[in-house]
């Protein structure tokens, strides 16, 4: 117990610390379970598609005609199937938070955050203390924005790489005068991959999302740095007024970022109407 702190207040503070620890554990478990679920679905889907394509191609063309493609497809199929069953085995033997599904962990995370907010409200901390707590949460906010920005940027770069390399590969294969049957299937697959990558990149707007997230993170960091250094616009007034101004500016940036995300989620013909 902290010296000079009432027992009831100290107990509530300890409960808030326990809430933060629990929320951090749930977030880690959620990230891991989400990654496991995505990898399991991708590996399982790839294994089924490869098996179906392998059977159809060998029946239609013959083993001898696509022996090279079979030598490539079989190891990939074995790797995909092994990854799928390996993750299933890990999930079945998991304990604690890791035995729950991702959507269950999302609900549990929301409930834990609500409980933390309720306990924080009962604690009745003075406004300056809450403002200091708000300022201390800025680094975590910046980390989350930049992490999401890097995630969207990676997706955009992968899609662009598929489009560029696929376009070159598809053009090269199609340019052959007498394209053998196996290469025709490869050309079809490459064309489909290019079209899918272009469609997903245009629909989800990963590049724009990454740009806006990075822009918001840079603006928040600029305000936080100006506050720490005591430079404009935080070079006048007392600590309480400067903290209030910092919170106001960051909340305005958050609202603007949410509006941008809503605009990106709108259909193309209606996006220009969103302010």
Question: How is 12-69 classified by DSSP, letter by letter?
Answer: HHHHHHHHHHHHHHHHHHHHHHHHHHHHHHHHHHHHHHHHHHHHHHHHHT-GGGGHHH
Most confident of 23-32, 112-121, 261-270: 23-32
pLDDT in tens, 153-211: 999 999 999 899 888 887 777 766 565 666 677 777 788 888 888 988 888 899 999 99
pTM of the model: 0.64
The contacts of residue 127 (CB under 8 Å, 6+ apart) are: 240
CA-to-CA distance for 227 and 130, rounded, in angstroms? 17
Residue 126 per-residue DSSP state: -
Enumerate long-range contacts of 100-105, CB under 8 Å, 24 or more apart. Answer: 100/29, 100/33, 101/33, 101/37, 102/30, 102/33, 102/34, 102/37, 105/26, 105/29, 105/30, 105/33
pLDDT in tens, 56-115: 878 777 777 778 777 888 888 899 999 999 999 998 888 888 888 888 888 888 888 778
pLDDT in tens, 22-40: 888 888 888 899 888 889 9
Q: What is the pLDDT of residue 18?
A: 84
Q: Which two tokens stand for residue 154?
A: 């990676």
Average pLDDT over residues 248-269: 85
| Weakest mean pLDDT among 133-137, 160-164, 264-268 | 264-268
What are the C-alpha distances in Å from 98 to residues 28, 101, 110, 113, 238? 9, 8, 17, 19, 47
State the alpha helices, DSSP H only, in 67-205. Answer: 67-92, 102-123, 127-136, 138-174, 181-204
Q: Is 66 exposed, middle or buried (0-12, 13-18, 19+ CB in 10 A)?
A: buried
Q: What is the pLDDT of residue 180?
A: 63
Q: What is the pLDDT of residue 106?
A: 85
Question: In the block, which residue shows the tokens 């309720």?
Answer: 118
């Amino acid at each position: 117990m902290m010296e000079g702190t009432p027992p009831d207040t100290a107990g509530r503070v300890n409960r808030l610390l326990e809430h933060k620890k629990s929320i951090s554990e749930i977030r880690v478990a959620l990230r891991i379970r989400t990654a496991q679920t995505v990898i399991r679905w991708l590996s399982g889907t790839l294994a089924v598609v490869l098996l179906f394509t392998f059977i159809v191609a060998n029946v239609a063309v013959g083993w001898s005609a696509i022996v090279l493609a079979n030598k490539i497809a079989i190891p990939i199929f074995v790797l995909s199937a092994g990854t799928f069953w390996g993750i299933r085995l890990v999930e079945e033997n998991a304990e604690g938070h890791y035995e729950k599904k991702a959507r269950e962990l999302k609900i549990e995370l929301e409930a834990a955050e609500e409980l933390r907010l309720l306990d924080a409200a009962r604690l009745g901390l003075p406004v300056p203390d809450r403002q200091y707590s708000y300022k201390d949460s800025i680094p975590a906010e910046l980390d989350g924005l930049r992490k999401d920005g890097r995630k969207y940027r990676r997706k955009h770069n992968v899609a662009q790489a598929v489009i560029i390399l696929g376009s070159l590969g598809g053009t090269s294969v199609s340019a052959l005068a007498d394209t053998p049957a196996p290469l025709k299937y490869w050309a079809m697959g490459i064309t489909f991959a290019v079209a899918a990558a272009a469609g997903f990149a245009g629909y989800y707007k990963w590049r724009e999302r990454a740009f806006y997230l990075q822009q918001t993170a840079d603006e928040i960091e600029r305000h936080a740095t100006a506050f720490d250094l005591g430079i404009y616009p935080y070079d006048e007034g007392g600590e309480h007024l400067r903290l209030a101004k910092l919170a106001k500016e960051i909340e305005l940036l958050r609202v603007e970022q949410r509006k941008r995300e809503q605009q990106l989620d709108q259909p193309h013909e209606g996006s220009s109407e969103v302010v």
